[in-house]
Structure 1
Amino acid sequence: MSDKAGRPVRTGPERIRKLAQAALNADVTVEQVDTILESLSVTLEDLSRSTEILDVTLERFNGTINQINELAPRLIAVVDRMEGIVSRVERIVGVGESVIMPLAATEQVIRGALDRVRRTTGL
Protein backbone atom coordinates (compact mmCIF):
# COMPACT_ATOMS: atom_id res chain seq x y z
CA MET A 1 0.00 0.00 0.00
CA SER A 2 1.18 3.42 -0.76
CA ASP A 3 1.04 6.29 1.71
CA LYS A 4 -1.12 9.01 0.26
CA ALA A 5 -1.40 11.20 3.38
CA GLY A 6 2.23 11.03 4.44
CA ARG A 7 1.57 8.49 7.17
CA PRO A 8 3.44 5.24 7.54
CA VAL A 9 1.57 2.18 6.42
CA ARG A 10 0.38 -0.03 9.28
CA THR A 11 0.50 -3.73 9.18
CA GLY A 12 -2.44 -5.98 9.98
CA PRO A 13 -1.40 -6.76 13.57
CA GLU A 14 -0.75 -3.07 14.27
CA ARG A 15 -4.18 -2.20 12.99
CA ILE A 16 -5.77 -4.94 15.11
CA ARG A 17 -3.90 -3.67 18.21
CA LYS A 18 -5.00 -0.10 17.52
CA LEU A 19 -8.60 -1.21 16.98
CA ALA A 20 -8.49 -3.37 20.14
CA GLN A 21 -7.08 -0.41 22.12
CA ALA A 22 -9.77 1.87 20.68
CA ALA A 23 -12.44 -0.71 21.62
CA LEU A 24 -11.04 -0.92 25.18
CA ASN A 25 -10.98 2.87 25.43
CA ALA A 26 -14.55 3.02 24.17
CA ASP A 27 -15.56 0.33 26.71
CA VAL A 28 -13.96 2.32 29.55
CA THR A 29 -15.68 5.47 28.33
CA VAL A 30 -19.04 3.65 28.18
CA GLU A 31 -18.51 2.39 31.74
CA GLN A 32 -17.69 5.92 32.89
CA VAL A 33 -20.77 7.32 31.17
CA ASP A 34 -22.86 4.50 32.68
CA THR A 35 -21.54 5.33 36.16
CA ILE A 36 -22.27 9.02 35.63
CA LEU A 37 -25.78 8.23 34.40
CA GLU A 38 -26.44 6.00 37.42
CA SER A 39 -25.27 8.78 39.75
CA LEU A 40 -27.36 11.26 37.83
CA SER A 41 -30.38 8.97 38.14
CA VAL A 42 -29.96 8.83 41.93
CA THR A 43 -29.50 12.60 42.03
CA LEU A 44 -32.63 13.13 39.95
CA GLU A 45 -34.63 10.85 42.26
CA ASP A 46 -33.40 12.84 45.26
CA LEU A 47 -34.27 16.06 43.46
CA SER A 48 -37.73 14.71 42.69
CA ARG A 49 -38.31 13.89 46.38
CA SER A 50 -37.00 17.30 47.39
CA THR A 51 -39.30 18.95 44.88
CA GLU A 52 -42.28 17.02 46.25
CA ILE A 53 -41.37 18.10 49.80
CA LEU A 54 -40.97 21.68 48.58
CA ASP A 55 -44.41 21.48 46.94
CA VAL A 56 -45.96 20.32 50.22
CA THR A 57 -44.15 23.07 52.12
CA LEU A 58 -45.28 25.71 49.64
CA GLU A 59 -48.88 24.49 49.89
CA ARG A 60 -48.69 24.74 53.69
CA PHE A 61 -47.10 28.20 53.39
CA ASN A 62 -49.86 29.27 51.01
CA GLY A 63 -52.46 28.04 53.51
CA THR A 64 -50.77 30.03 56.27
CA ILE A 65 -50.73 33.17 54.11
CA ASN A 66 -54.44 32.67 53.35
CA GLN A 67 -55.18 32.34 57.08
CA ILE A 68 -53.26 35.56 57.73
CA ASN A 69 -55.23 37.26 54.97
CA GLU A 70 -58.47 36.08 56.55
CA LEU A 71 -57.30 37.15 60.01
CA ALA A 72 -56.21 40.65 58.96
CA PRO A 73 -59.72 42.19 58.77
CA ARG A 74 -60.57 40.81 62.21
CA LEU A 75 -57.35 42.21 63.63
CA ILE A 76 -58.10 45.58 62.06
CA ALA A 77 -61.56 45.51 63.67
CA VAL A 78 -60.00 44.72 67.07
CA VAL A 79 -57.55 47.61 66.65
CA ASP A 80 -60.42 49.94 65.72
CA ARG A 81 -62.34 48.88 68.84
CA MET A 82 -59.24 49.36 70.99
CA GLU A 83 -58.75 52.84 69.54
CA GLY A 84 -62.38 53.63 70.43
CA ILE A 85 -61.83 52.40 73.98
CA VAL A 86 -58.62 54.42 74.32
CA SER A 87 -60.33 57.60 73.11
CA ARG A 88 -63.19 57.07 75.61
CA VAL A 89 -60.70 56.50 78.44
CA GLU A 90 -58.86 59.67 77.40
CA ARG A 91 -62.15 61.61 77.58
CA ILE A 92 -62.92 60.11 81.01
CA VAL A 93 -59.45 61.05 82.24
CA GLY A 94 -59.90 64.56 80.83
CA VAL A 95 -63.24 64.93 82.66
CA GLY A 96 -61.67 63.55 85.85
CA GLU A 97 -58.83 66.04 85.59
CA SER A 98 -61.33 68.86 85.04
CA VAL A 99 -63.30 67.81 88.12
CA ILE A 100 -60.22 67.38 90.31
CA MET A 101 -58.49 70.66 89.36
CA PRO A 102 -60.92 72.87 91.36
CA LEU A 103 -60.80 70.41 94.24
CA ALA A 104 -56.99 70.46 94.21
CA ALA A 105 -57.01 74.26 94.14
CA THR A 106 -59.53 74.33 97.00
CA GLU A 107 -57.43 71.86 98.95
CA GLN A 108 -54.35 74.06 98.53
CA VAL A 109 -56.26 77.14 99.69
CA ILE A 110 -57.61 75.29 102.77
CA ARG A 111 -54.17 73.88 103.59
CA GLY A 112 -52.65 77.35 103.27
CA ALA A 113 -55.35 78.79 105.57
CA LEU A 114 -54.87 75.97 108.09
CA ASP A 115 -51.11 76.48 108.03
CA ARG A 116 -51.60 80.21 108.76
CA VAL A 117 -54.01 79.42 111.56
CA ARG A 118 -51.55 76.93 113.05
CA ARG A 119 -48.73 79.42 112.82
CA THR A 120 -50.72 82.19 114.38
CA THR A 121 -52.13 79.97 117.18
CA GLY A 122 -48.90 78.08 117.67
CA LEU A 123 -50.30 74.61 117.10
Structure 2
Amino acid sequence: MAINPPDRGTRVGDDRQRLRKLAQAAMNADQTVGQVETLLADMGPLLMGLTKTTGSLDETLAGMDATITKMDATLNKVDTTVEQMATVVERLEAVTSRVEQVVLIVEAALRPIGVVESAGRAIVGRLGVLSRG
Protein backbone atom coordinates (compact mmCIF):
# COMPACT_ATOMS: atom_id res chain seq x y z
CA MET A 1 0.00 0.00 0.00
CA ALA A 2 1.41 3.33 -0.99
CA ILE A 3 1.00 6.46 1.08
CA ASN A 4 -0.05 9.46 -0.91
CA PRO A 5 1.68 12.65 0.00
CA PRO A 6 -0.68 15.49 1.01
CA ASP A 7 -1.87 17.72 -1.74
CA ARG A 8 0.12 20.92 -1.64
CA GLY A 9 -2.65 22.92 -3.26
CA THR A 10 -5.11 22.07 -0.53
CA ARG A 11 -2.58 22.86 2.15
CA VAL A 12 -1.83 26.30 0.73
CA GLY A 13 -5.57 27.07 0.59
CA ASP A 14 -6.00 25.97 4.19
CA ASP A 15 -3.10 28.17 5.26
CA ARG A 16 -4.58 31.17 3.46
CA GLN A 17 -7.95 30.53 5.08
CA ARG A 18 -6.29 30.28 8.46
CA LEU A 19 -4.38 33.55 7.87
CA ARG A 20 -7.61 35.31 6.84
CA LYS A 21 -9.33 34.09 10.03
CA LEU A 22 -6.39 35.20 12.15
CA ALA A 23 -6.33 38.61 10.48
CA GLN A 24 -10.07 39.00 10.98
CA ALA A 25 -9.73 37.96 14.62
CA ALA A 26 -6.92 40.51 15.08
CA MET A 27 -9.08 43.25 13.53
CA ASN A 28 -12.02 42.24 15.74
CA ALA A 29 -9.77 42.27 18.81
CA ASP A 30 -8.41 45.69 17.83
CA GLN A 31 -11.96 47.00 17.39
CA THR A 32 -13.00 45.50 20.76
CA VAL A 33 -10.00 47.11 22.48
CA GLY A 34 -11.03 50.44 20.96
CA GLN A 35 -14.58 50.01 22.23
CA VAL A 36 -13.32 49.13 25.72
CA GLU A 37 -11.04 52.18 25.72
CA THR A 38 -13.99 54.40 24.74
CA LEU A 39 -16.14 52.83 27.41
CA LEU A 40 -13.46 53.34 30.05
CA ALA A 41 -12.95 56.95 28.96
CA ASP A 42 -16.71 57.56 29.29
CA MET A 43 -16.75 55.92 32.72
CA GLY A 44 -14.08 58.28 34.09
CA PRO A 45 -16.40 61.25 34.77
CA LEU A 46 -19.06 58.88 36.06
CA LEU A 47 -16.63 57.37 38.55
CA MET A 48 -15.49 60.85 39.63
CA GLY A 49 -19.12 61.82 40.25
CA LEU A 50 -19.66 58.60 42.16
CA THR A 51 -16.60 59.35 44.28
CA LYS A 52 -17.97 62.82 45.08
CA THR A 53 -21.39 61.37 45.93
CA THR A 54 -19.82 58.74 48.17
CA GLY A 55 -17.86 61.47 49.97
CA SER A 56 -21.07 63.44 50.54
CA LEU A 57 -22.77 60.31 51.81
CA ASP A 58 -19.91 59.71 54.24
CA GLU A 59 -20.26 63.29 55.56
CA THR A 60 -24.00 62.86 55.92
CA LEU A 61 -23.56 59.60 57.80
CA ALA A 62 -21.03 61.23 60.12
CA GLY A 63 -23.50 64.03 60.86
CA MET A 64 -26.25 61.49 61.37
CA ASP A 65 -24.06 59.57 63.80
CA ALA A 66 -23.50 62.74 65.85
CA THR A 67 -27.24 63.44 65.82
CA ILE A 68 -28.04 59.92 66.97
CA THR A 69 -25.49 60.26 69.79
CA LYS A 70 -27.15 63.51 70.93
CA MET A 71 -30.58 61.91 70.65
CA ASP A 72 -29.44 58.98 72.77
CA ALA A 73 -28.12 61.36 75.45
CA THR A 74 -31.40 63.29 75.36
CA LEU A 75 -33.45 60.11 75.72
CA ASN A 76 -31.32 59.08 78.69
CA LYS A 77 -32.02 62.47 80.29
CA VAL A 78 -35.74 62.05 79.60
CA ASP A 79 -35.67 58.61 81.22
CA THR A 80 -33.96 60.06 84.30
CA THR A 81 -36.48 62.91 84.46
CA VAL A 82 -39.41 60.50 84.19
CA GLU A 83 -38.01 58.44 87.06
CA GLN A 84 -37.60 61.59 89.17
CA MET A 85 -41.14 62.72 88.31
CA ALA A 86 -42.49 59.32 89.32
CA THR A 87 -40.84 59.79 92.71
CA VAL A 88 -42.35 63.28 93.03
CA VAL A 89 -45.80 61.95 92.09
CA GLU A 90 -45.51 59.24 94.73
CA ARG A 91 -44.64 61.91 97.34
CA LEU A 92 -47.56 64.10 96.22
CA GLU A 93 -49.92 61.14 96.47
CA ALA A 94 -48.69 60.51 100.03
CA VAL A 95 -49.21 64.20 100.94
CA THR A 96 -52.69 64.17 99.35
CA SER A 97 -53.58 61.07 101.32
CA ARG A 98 -52.47 62.74 104.57
CA VAL A 99 -54.42 65.93 103.74
CA GLU A 100 -57.54 63.84 103.07
CA GLN A 101 -57.10 62.16 106.45
CA VAL A 102 -56.71 65.54 108.18
CA VAL A 103 -59.85 66.83 106.43
CA LEU A 104 -61.80 63.77 107.59
CA ILE A 105 -60.58 64.29 111.17
CA VAL A 106 -61.47 68.01 111.09
CA GLU A 107 -64.91 67.26 109.65
CA ALA A 108 -65.48 64.69 112.38
CA ALA A 109 -64.29 67.18 115.01
CA LEU A 110 -66.52 69.96 113.67
CA ARG A 111 -69.70 67.85 113.52
CA PRO A 112 -70.52 68.30 117.19
CA ILE A 113 -69.92 72.04 116.86
CA GLY A 114 -72.28 72.13 113.90
CA VAL A 115 -74.88 70.23 115.85
CA VAL A 116 -74.53 72.64 118.82
CA GLU A 117 -74.72 75.63 116.49
CA SER A 118 -77.81 74.26 114.77
CA ALA A 119 -79.47 73.53 118.10
CA GLY A 120 -78.56 77.02 119.37
CA ARG A 121 -80.10 78.64 116.31
CA ALA A 122 -83.21 76.58 116.69
CA ILE A 123 -83.56 77.64 120.34
CA VAL A 124 -82.84 81.28 119.58
CA GLY A 125 -85.31 81.15 116.73
CA ARG A 126 -88.06 79.76 118.94
CA LEU A 127 -87.36 82.27 121.60
CA GLY A 128 -87.40 85.05 119.04
CA VAL A 129 -84.22 86.58 120.34
CA LEU A 130 -82.96 87.40 116.88
CA SER A 131 -85.43 89.05 114.64
CA ARG A 132 -85.18 88.89 110.95
CA GLY A 133 -84.98 91.85 108.75
Alpha-carbon spacing, 1:64–1:85, altered in 2? closer, same or farther (3 Å): same
Alpha-carbon spacing, 1:99–1:45, altered in 2? closer, same or farther (3 Å): same
- Is 1:70 the counterpart of 2:91? The answer is no
- Is 1:52 the counterpart of 2:64? The answer is no
Amino acid at match of 1:78: V
Alpha-carbon spacing, 1:33–1:114, altered in 2? closer, same or farther (3 Å): closer
Which residue of 2 is the match for residue 35 of structure 1? 52
Alpha-carbon spacing, 1:38–1:47, altered in 2? closer, same or farther (3 Å): same
Deviation of 1:16 after TM superposition, in Å, equals: 5.5
- Is 1:61 the counterpart of 2:78? The answer is yes
Fraction of identical pairs, as percent: 19
Q: Normalising to structure 2: TM-score of the pair?
A: 0.66
Select which of 65, 89, 103 maps to 2:106: 89
Distance in 2 between the 1:93 and 1:20 partners? Answer: 106
The count of aligned residue pairs is 108
What RMSD in Å do the two structures reach over aligned CA positions? 2.8
Q: Normalising to structure 1: TM-score of the pair?
A: 0.70
List alignment gaps of at least 5 residues for structure 2.
Answer: 1-19, 22-26
Which residue of 1 is the match for residue 10 of structure 2? none
Larger Rg: 2
Structure with more contact order per residue of length (Cα contacts < 8 Å, sep ≥ 6): 1
Distance in 2 between the 1:85 and 1:49 partners? Answer: 54
Distance in 2 between the 1:55 and 1:71 partners? Answer: 24
List alignment gaps of at least 5 residues for structure 1.
Answer: 3-8, 116-123
Distance in 1 between the 2:81 and 2:57 partners? Answer: 35
Amino acid at match of 2:62: E
Q: Which runs of 4 or more aligned residues in structure 1 lie more than 3 Å from their structure 2 counterparts after TM superposition?
A: 9-12, 14-17, 112-115
Amino acid at match of 1:99: V
